[in-house]
Amino acid sequence: MRGVVHFAFVAAMAAGSPLPAQTTSPILEKIADQPPVPDDPFNFGDADKRMTVPVTVAGRGPYNFVVDTGAQRTVVSHDLAGLLGLRSGRKVRVTAMTNSAIVNTVIVPSLRLSKAATENIEAPALDQRNLGAPGMIGIDALQDHAVTIDFASGQMTLIPSKKRHHQIAAPNEIVVTAKNRFGQLIVTDAHYHGRRIAVVIDTGSPVTIANSAFRRWLSVPPRHIGTVMLLSALGQLLTADYVQIDRLEIGSVEFKNVPLAFADAAPFRRFDLADTPALLLGMDALRLFNNVRIDFANREIRFTLPDMQMLASN
């Protein structure tokens, strides 16, 4: 296997003056011939095998943004920012999948995804050709919400979530708890041959990525598939070995013959996982389930299984 795969992970730190006060935008009016963003549930699409959802930006749209639960920041493409006339914000240092750089931001006066609305977002502005979409929804717009991805029906639901007591799992449902690190949920109830690993649920990645610390742990030699070129949101390319490992466990679910790419990508360092065996669990693995629910408020991920025997023998 050899191809170019988009990865949209973005984390950012301020690199300039404080955010200026928001002023009235000249583009808040609705465009009559544009359909509104549908309420829950709504259909999602694909961009390079990643999940996209309809989003309105400053009252305009909808535009199909990639939903990236592995990225800390919402991003708007230069192309869309120019089309909408979004005003400039501060410069920030952005860390993407392969490297970091100082980039410009734009002020998004309003952003609506289903029933969730966010105002005055300072969004890094990057090239659409590197994002693979007009923009990207990060966890800054998903906090305090539960995201349910129903692969069986091709629909996504986003609802507000509040902390609650433990809820009993439904039949064929696996529940795993996670730690919160920089706003990101890190699953620790995952194992390789009985040894604990860390897992980040990353809907912005079409393939699963493992770091070198995980590779050093392999007790069974992986089957080499080929190489894959990883394209970061900043336009840098990284060549990664693409292999198949014999097994992996998340909660009580066992995966067999799991394909993944080995790359010491920037998110591992960002989440203090560079020296910890860890995975960015991408859409290739998530699509094995009927349903995945990511509840940020309760630091919980629920996986609904299509069939236990089919999953174990995959």
Hey, what are 269's tokens?
A: 């360092």
- Whether the per-residue pLDDT at 300 is higher than 90: the answer is no
Instruction: Please tell me the predicted confidence (pLDDT) of residue 145.
Output: 81
Instruction: Please tell me the predicted confidence (pLDDT) of residue 49.
Output: 56
Q: Which of residues 237 and 190 earns the better pLDDT score?
A: 190
- Percent of the chain predicted with pLDDT > 90: 23
Hey, what are 308's tokens?
A: 């236990």
- Percent of the chain predicted with pLDDT > 70: 78
DSSP state of 28: -
Mean pLDDT for the chain? 77
Q: What structural domains does the chain harbor?
A: 8-16+37-145 (2.40.70.10), 171-312 (2.40.70.10)
The closest alpha carbon to 112, from 79, 158, 144, belongs to: 158
The whole-angstrom separation of Cα 89 and Cα 97 is 23
- Whether the per-residue pLDDT at 3 is higher than 70: the answer is no
> Which residues are paired to 201 by β-bridges?
281
The closest alpha carbon to 143, from 180, 90, 109, belongs to: 180
Residue type, 87: R
Say if pTM beats, i.e. exceeds, 0.85. no
Instruction: Please tell me the predicted confidence (pLDDT) of residue 298.
Output: 85
The answer to whether 108 touches 120, Cβ cutoff 8 Å, is yes
Instruction: Please tell me the predicted confidence (pLDDT) of residue 303.
Output: 87
**Pairing label, strands 145-150, 4-6:** unpaired
Residues in the chain: 314
pLDDT tens digit string along 129-176? Answer: 888 889 988 888 877 788 888 887 777 777 888 777 666 767 777 888
> Torsions phi, psi of 84, nearest 5?
-90, -10
The closest alpha carbon to 129, from 36, 234, 43, belongs to: 234
The whole-angstrom separation of Cα 170 and Cα 96 is 37
pLDDT tens digit string along 59-110? Answer: 888 898 888 887 788 899 999 999 999 999 999 888 777 777 889 999 999 8
Instruction: Please tell me the predicted confidence (pLDDT) of residue 165.
Output: 65
